[in-house]
A and B are shown apart, each in its own frame.
Chain A
Amino acid sequence: MMTLKVNGREHQVDAETDTPLLYVLRDDLKLNAAKFGCGLGQCGSCTVIVDGKAVLSCVTPMVLLEGKQVTTLEGLGTIAEPAPIQRAFMEEQAAQCGYCIPGMMMRAQALLQRNSKPTDEQIRAELEPHLCRCGTHMRILRAVHRAARLMDTAEASPAANRSAR
């Protein structure tokens, strides 16, 4: 048994040290926002935040997570109370099939937490490890800018208080 802190809660999970975090999130904790895309750390759809940094959960074994805080998209906001990053993606209609979007949002969130006003170039560089086959890249770019503005003005909103750490 191992202890895993996800979205502010501690879970006891029955996992081997070399089990990828993504499997535990999806299979044991039923947190299905992070997606299995390639399983090789090459597409970005499994991205979650660990201690403030974007991490590819499909190539991150449990042994690396001792004492760390994992944040998944579920930890940012809910359908009733979406976080600024989620609102921004909806308002810009940035998802087509949507498979890559949770990963995109998590890495964008990590970027915005350390740089509240990223330039176009910085967003492109940051999201470089993420693939989107639908081609909604321009909308995703706009959504990240919109999220930056929302976070700037929505400090007091309940969703922002729950933002990842």
Chain B
Amino acid sequence: MRASARIIAGIVAIVLISAAVAAFAIAWRPAIAAIDPPGPQSFDDALVKRGRDLAAIGNCSDCHTRRGAKNFAGGLPVPTPFGTIFSTNITPEPETGIGRWSEAAFRRAMRSGVNREGQHLYPTFPYDHFTNVSDEDDRALYAFLMTRQPVRAAARDNQLSFPFNQRLAIAGWKLLFLRHDTYQPDPKQSAEWNRGAYLVEGLAHCGACHTPRNALGAERVSAQFAGGDVDDWHAYAINDQSRSPVPWTADALFAYLREGWHPDHGTARGPMAKVVSNLSSVPASDVRAIAAYMAGVSGASTSDRTGPSEAALTRARTASQANAVGASIYTAACASCHEGGRPLPYGGVDLRLSTAISSPDPRNLINIVLSGIEAVEGERSPIMPGFAASMNDEQASALLNYLRARFSDQPAWTGVEKSIQDARRTQTVFLQTSPAPRNAPADPQQREKP
């Protein structure tokens, strides 16, 4: 008995040790030697310029810059279901930034989510997309970042609970969810389509917001582009489940992504405002490619353009009878712009075309009704006053329900008042920590270049 117990104990010990060794082998990444920060003049100007455009396509500045702080110096809190993660400093400052990172270290971070010291990075940094970025593009991005103004700003500690605060756990996450496939062009499609696919699936990481995530925070491959959550906004479904009353075309997508608004769809706001602001400054051909690819992904919409039909008029009458408070607020607060007939961006979109009103999630509409759209300094851009100060929760709720009943053919939302209370709380945080909503200028030349 004693001998067999010892044998069993021995076997258990061996299994445990081998498991530990295997886990270590899977999780362990070596540090990559620190380098002396390369001078800005050691990078080719054309390469830096290309990296600049790529960084705009990747929307890097959005997460890596805190409102009112220095570009790319990090520190922006990113709320996740697991806790708050703070973005890092990606300026070439040697101690607190990536100044001592070699190009190989940068590429490894993009491909595998490991920092120069060998620590696993949280997938809030979307390396599950960046793994598709070509060597050439990583080189350009590296050149761009290493020629920015170095800023001394130490990373803030993430606020995560156990076990999510264990970086080793990320190694397990990667085993399950990180695919190291480089992008394979589809020979049956045009070069433009392929370029779009490469950008959308890779650097532009559209799915990071627009694809729903599973319980472990990974994108659900089976529901690609079916709509997700970001910063207390809903990122709409942009596949064939899109609720946009008018189907998106490649031309409409191009105009929207380039200028921040489209007469058939309304304006980009919330986190998307920053995306279009960045896309307004990159080569038009890249935005065209993204639009061409996404038009194929979104396919035909579930409902066709309604127009001023009998049904819409009936809806308007019943909605007003059912909800007199909402109707009164609408008439005085909304109709002056939204029925004024003035074209976008200064006039309001015809609300029958609003995806926010047809969407299953009321948060985007609540956010915009409460906060409005800030005008962009010195640029032709959409503008809308916020109504947080003039409506209480009950009144705002009456308005939301009225808009839903009158301008969509969808069932009423549930829990609107609760969502309004949440939005009042979270929007304060949103406004303090994010860059002001910026929309694209009519003339991208007006925009300052880094």
Contact = CB atoms under 8 A, between A and B. Distances in A.
Interface stretch (B21-29, B45-53, B296-304, B324-332): B324-332
B389 A129 contact: no
Contacts of B340: 40
A42 B329 contact: no
A64 B385 CA distance: 16
A50 to B, nearest CB: 7
A152 B324 CA distance: 45
B12 interface: no
Contacts of B390: 50, 53, 55-56, 59-60, 64
Interface string B355-387: 000000000000000000011000000011101
Given A17-B324, A64-B390, A128-B374, A42 B332 contact: no
A155 interface: no
A125 B340 CA distance: 28
A61 B374 CA distance: 22
A55 B388 CA distance: 9
A39 interface: yes
B337 interface: yes
B426 interface: no
Contacts of A56: 385, 390
A59 B395 contact: no
A18 B389 contact: no
Contacts of B336: 39-41, 58-59
Contacts of A108: none
B385 A129 contact: yes
Interface size class of B (residues with CB under 8 A): 20 to 34
A61 B329 contact: yes
Contacts of A16: 328
Contact of B327 (A18, A39, A64): A18
Contacts, number: 60
Contacts of A18: 327-329, 331-332
B333 interface: yes
B337 A64 contact: no
B15 interface: no
B333 A59 contact: yes
A77 interface: no
Nearest to A54: B389
Contact of A59 (B346, B383, B385): B385
A128 B436 CA distance: 12
A41 B333 CA distance: 8
Interface string A42-56: 100000001001111
B424 to A, nearest CB: 13
A40 B337 CA distance: 6
Interface string A17-52: 111100000000000000000011110000000100
B402 to A, nearest CB: 12
Contacts of A50: 389-390
Interface string B384-402: 1101011100010000000
B385 A41 contact: yes
A58 B387 CA distance: 12
23 contacts: A17-B328, A18-B327, A18-B328, A18-B331, A20-B332, A39-B336, A40-B336, A40-B337, A40-B340, A41-B384, A42-B346, A53-B389, A55-B390, A58-B336, A59-B385, A59-B387, A60-B332, A60-B333, A61-B332, A61-B333, A63-B328, A128-B374, A129-B385
Interface of B: 324-325, 327-329, 331-333, 336-337, 340, 346, 374-375, 383-385, 387, 389-391, 395
Interface of A: 16-20, 39-42, 50, 53-56, 58-64, 128-129
- Pick the 6 closest A-B CB pairs, nearest first: A61-B332, A41-B385, A53-B389, A18-B328, A18-B331, A17-B328
